[in-house]
Chain A
């Protein structure tokens, strides 16, 4: 069963508990749930922050390397006194200063109920995707470029996986060369957290098998429904 809520938690989360379709049960599910957020950049930072603020029980956050000046136009958690500190007293935070690799993702993914992949590196995303497929864990895939965003939820065996969509890293994508402004990442990070909350609580309809495409320059959005690939190297056997 899901953990009980304390009086403090009932008060803290009462404004979301009162939402139609959410309720106390969803809050309890969230308290008992865990998620891995790989990289705490302009996208993963807000995603992790909003998952924590919404009351998730355990957050595993990982980001290798060190902060550089060009990160600071969007990375809201990139301060010495901010990274790794819990914002609610009941939240368990696990951190890693490594990037996701084939060597560590098995252990990482085994510790959580869901993964948010918020890295600019397609190779890293594909490694996480393969592990999520292997362990049958849902994956929230979100990415941006300049004014544009894409967001989808991958449920192994039910929806196209990331490798169905991107069999290998596109040679034209530069993981450290895309244009980026903070509010675009911030908005997508919030939507990433929202999709994770939907999956973890079972409330509302997540974007499973649907890619939400958003153009924030023109303020337009559309949905596309990709097909699974029967010859997919990651999920074709499911």
Chain B
């Protein structure tokens, strides 16, 4: 099994319209590296120049923020949610 990540509409312009990305399990850093490997334009929307998560790039594992940040383990089939801020009205 792998990890399937849904790409929110607000970020699909950076994935060429792709709605889902499937990557291998690992640490959150490895999972995201897998996503950026397929969609490089997404990296700048998720990570800082230093490689940390941007303050407005919220990633949740099973509904909670990863306790160990990018070092948090993401197992096979884990529910990973990317939640960019949106303010449409």
Contacts and interface: CB of A to CB of B under 8 A. Distances in A.
Interface of A: 39, 41-44, 118-122, 125, 143-148, 150, 165-168, 170, 172-173, 175, 178-180, 185, 211, 213, 222-227, 229
28 contacts: A41-B89, A42-B89, A43-B89, A119-B87, A143-B85, A143-B87, A145-B86, A146-B9, A146-B88, A147-B9, A148-B8, A148-B9, A148-B86, A150-B85, A165-B56, A166-B55, A166-B56, A170-B56, A172-B10, A173-B10, A173-B85, A213-B83, A224-B63, A224-B83, A225-B63, A225-B64, A226-B60, A227-B65
| Across the A-B interface, the 7 shortest Cβ-Cβ residue pairs | A43-B89, A143-B87, A145-B86, A178-B88, A144-B88, A146-B9, A224-B60
A144 B85 contact: no
Interface of A is mostly: loop
Contacts of A118: 89
Contacts of A229: 55
B88 to A, nearest CB: 4
Given A165-B56, A226-B65, 6 more contacts: A39-B89, A41-B89, A43-B88, A144-B89, A166-B55, A170-B85
